[in-house]
Amino acid sequence: MDFSIPNIYTHKNLKFLIAVPLLLMMLGIYMSHNIILDSSLSGGSSLTLQANTSLSASQIASELSSRFNVPAPAVQVSSGTVLITVPSNKSLANAESYLLLLYQAHSNYSQYVLNATNYGFALSKSPSNQTIQRLYDQAETGKNSSLAQVRNYFVLERSSLSPFLVNASTNTTSADSMLAAAQGIYNNASAKYQSSLISAVGQVVPFKSYSYQEITVLQSSYFLQQLETIIIVAFILISIIVFFIFRSVVPSFAVVFGAANDMIVAIGAMALFKIPLGIASIGGLLMLLGYSIDTDVLTAIRILKRHEGTPEQRAYSSMKTGLTMTFTAIVSFAVLFAVSYILYVPTYFEISGVVLFGLIADLATTWLGNASIILMHVHRKNKA
């Protein structure tokens, strides 16, 4: 590739170059608030069907969205197998949250009942003991308060599940009765939702057999926490390794900043173009992290540890090599992104979208930001 652009690093005010990736970072942070989580991280239902159909994945998704009144589900069609993932039902998701709170309130109620019984027994033996009396009163107050919480969460759960329920009376003076009723109505509502979903799918794609799997909000929250932990640990390990290589704060910061900026911009682009964040796209972010660290470290090593020419010439030479590599990768992932969008393959669409937008951001981050920070660091060292 023939580069006729001038050497941008001979410019005296390198700070102006750094402003570009910083602006992209701010835009990425602003847009990231609108990121969409897919069913693996927000909860949902998955149906695997054994069926032969002439419909495409996009046609099935459109039909189900209109018939079942849900956001467009993720659909994959492959050699007689159809995989359909539907976002979490809001009524069931809210009910699950209230049910978990009800469990906690019931646990507190049971503990207060036990305490009140014990203190009541002790008080019967020592009626004038003020300390025991105070503890007994606190247990009675806590018992009444937690019973009220159980009743409140039970009512909220029933209200959330109203689309699935028939009127039925429940003893709301008993915490145990409300807990049992809450569990029962949630299970019944979940079964009705599953039945209606399978019925709706069957009207669009007649199938021979199926398997059904539900990812609850609690499970998806756990997955999200684990993925966040993985990314944080990855950055910590990378920071340690990079600092060990350069033994200096500024180059290490520049490398880590470059990787973080690429990921932030990629997430902002995902929010802008409605690419959901899920396990697949998290894998794409980790791929992007590895690529970004690779280009940033190679650039820093060439500028700091080689001696041919001036630092600006070494940075420009690195840029010519790096741009060739990055443009090649951009073309490859752009093709994958387009094909997966046309054929409606969500996994490849998420991965390629994350890496594609991250690589585009890497052009500015590495060659305007990272390289400029390292050159400014070299100039300061030479003046010292």
Q: What is the per-residue pLDDT across 13-27, written as a single tens digit (0 to 9) for each? A: 788 888 899 999 999
So what's the pLDDT on residue 361?
A: 92
Q: What percent of the chain has pLDDT over 90?
A: 26
- Which amino acid type is present at position 33? H
Residue-wise pLDDT for 63-101, tens only, equals: 887 776 666 677 877 777 888 888 778 888 889 889 989
List pLDDT tens digits, range 206-244. 888 888 877 776 677 777 788 788 888 888 888 888 888
Q: Which of 295, 306, 307 is nearest to 367 (CA)?
A: 295
Residue 232: C-alpha distances to residues 64, 227, 228, 238, 254 (Å):
38, 9, 6, 10, 17
Give the pair of three-digit tokens for residue 89.
């039902």
- Contact between residue 179 and residue 102 where contact means Cβ atoms under 8 Å apart: yes
pLDDT at residue 70 in the model: 64
Position 379 confidence tier, pLDDT thresholds 50, 70, 90: confident
Task: Name the residue with higher pLDDT: 4 or 342.
Answer: 342
Q: How far is residue 153's CA from residue 180's CA, in Å, rounded to a whole number? A: 13
- Phi, psi at residue 215, to the nearest 5°? -105, 110
Grade residue 150 by pLDDT with cuts at 50, 70 and 90: very high
C-alpha pair distances (Å), 24 with each of 192, 262, 285, 351 = 47, 9, 17, 21
Query: 49 in helix, strand or coil?
Result: strand
Residue 317's closest CA among 268, 364, 367, 279? 367
Determine the Cα–Cα distance for residues 305 and 6; give it in Å rounded to an integer: 24
Question: Domain segments of the chain: what residues?
Answer: 8-39+217-383
What pLDDT, on a 0 to 100 scale, did the predictor assign at position 139?
A: 92
| CATH number for the domain running over 8-39+217-383 | 1.20.1640.10
- Mean pLDDT computed over 254-266: 91
Q: How confident is the model at residue 340 (pLDDT cuts 50, 70, 90)?
A: confident
| Alpha helical stretches, state H, 69-129 | 90-125
> What's the mean pLDDT in 162-167?
75
Beta carbons within 10 angstroms of residue 225's beta carbon = 11
**Most confident option among 83-97, 146-160, 272-286:** 146-160
What integer pLDDT is reported at residue 168 of this predicted model? 59
Q: What global pTM score does this model have?
A: 0.68
pLDDT reading at 140 higher than 70: yes
- At residue 1, the pLDDT reads 44
Q: In residues, how long is the chain?
A: 384
Q: Are the C-beta atoms of 374 and 250 separated by less than 8 Å?
A: yes
